[in-house]
Amino acid sequence: MNEAEFIAALRTLPLHPGAEGLHDDTATLAIGGETLILTHDAIAEGVHYRPGTDPFDIAWKLVAVNLSDLAAKGATPLGVLIGAVLVEGAERFVEGLRAILTEYAVPLLGGDTISVSPATFGCTAIGRAGAAVPRRDGGRAGDALWVTGTIGAAMLGFEAGDGAAYLRPRPRLAEGRALAPHVHAMMDVSDGLLLDASRLAEASGCTAEIARAALPVAPGADPLRAATWGDDYELLFAAPADFAPPVAATRIGTLTDERAVPLLLDGAAPDFPLGYQHR
């Protein structure tokens, strides 16, 4: 059973209506007139970070990837629960938590601590959404496709071995809140811009037509490698053609009526992997 088959099997379980058929990164829970956004991501040694990584960075990344999922919904974080592992240098883990929780004004709600090696950490983030909660399947033919910030900095940091951009991504919470009321579809870019754009397009029943020259690439990064590498945690969004984003963002293409493939780069279907595919 591979991951796709496993997720298909999970879809046969009793699902909450807010689980959206497990087609999104987050769940919505309507309660008391409010809409909560819930997300859970785990990161494991040897899979999401290298053995020997400073526990400060593990803590930052663990929380950041979950806050990034809230950002894509335009949600304001209410708190996080941490599934922590008591690792060597746990003091640094606490300091990393302190840094990101303070930076984004997110309180710790609780969690659990275990001792296990190699370590797998979990985080559940809870946010409060506004009136509009963007999904990845709301894009329409004719929409412009945009991405915040630049892509490739995480790749460059990883390859240079300093890792700040790779290990300490900055979730686009303010940008997500500013964009949510206006966009048709939005998601964070975790597995590669081209792959995530193809997913947004496919979910929306469209094709993403992207111009390679338009990609906002970090200085020094190869555009195609940057666009297929992932871990930048920028926001990708589809909005009406005449929408002017209130945040720093670059228009990278257009959603069109569905073609044979979900993504065209300079008019052709790429013959290389679009990003990081989970096995």
Annotated binding site for ATP: 111-112, 136, 190
Could you say whether residue 240 binds a second copy (CB under 8 A)?
Answer: no
Residue selected from 242, 260, 272, 278 as contacting a second copy according to rule CB under 8 A: 278
Nearer to a second copy, 44 or 160 (CB): 44
Structure tokens at 233: 């945690």
Spatial distance between the Cα atoms of 253 and 220, rounded to a whole number of angstroms: 22
Structure tokens at 258: 């569905």
- Using CB under 8 A as the binding criterion, the count of chain residues that bind a second copy stands at 72
3-state secondary structure 98-113: HHHHHHCCCCEEEEEE
Could you say whether residue 50 binds a second copy (CB under 8 A)?
Answer: no
As a whole number of Å, the end-to-end CA separation of the chain is 10
Instruction: Cite the annotated binding site for Mg(2+) by residue number.
Output: 25, 39, 41, 69, 112, 188, 191
Angle 145-146-147 from CA coordinates, rounded to 5°: 140
CA-nearest of 60, 240, 226 to 138 is: 240
Stretches 43-51, 171-179, 218-226, 246-254: which one binds a second copy (CB under 8 A)?
Answer: 43-51
Residues of this chain, 20-39, that bind a second copy according to CB under 8 A: 22, 24-27, 29, 31-34, 36, 38-39
Instruction: Cite the annotated binding site for substrate by residue number.
Output: 48, 231, 276
Residues of this chain, 122-181, that bind a second copy according to CB under 8 A: 122, 124, 126, 128
Nearer to a second copy, 92 or 212 (CB): 92
Specify the 3-state DSSP secondary structure of 225. helix
Could you say whether residue 219 binds a second copy (CB under 8 A)?
Answer: no
Could you say whether residue 44 binds a second copy (CB under 8 A)?
Answer: yes
Taking the complex as a whole, the smallest distance from the CB of residue 121 to a second copy amounts, in Å, to 9
Residues of this chain, 81-100, that bind a second copy according to CB under 8 A: 81-86, 90-91, 94, 97-98
Partner residues linked to 265 by β-bridges: 210, 268
Residue selected from 51, 102, 267, 268 as contacting a second copy according to rule CB under 8 A: 102
Structure tokens at 51: 């053995």
CA-nearest of 42, 99, 38 to 65 is: 42
Stretches 10-18, 133-141, 144-152, 203-211: which one binds a second copy (CB under 8 A)?
Answer: 10-18
76-85/108-114 β-pairing:
parallel
- Residue 31 CA, distance from chain mean position: 25
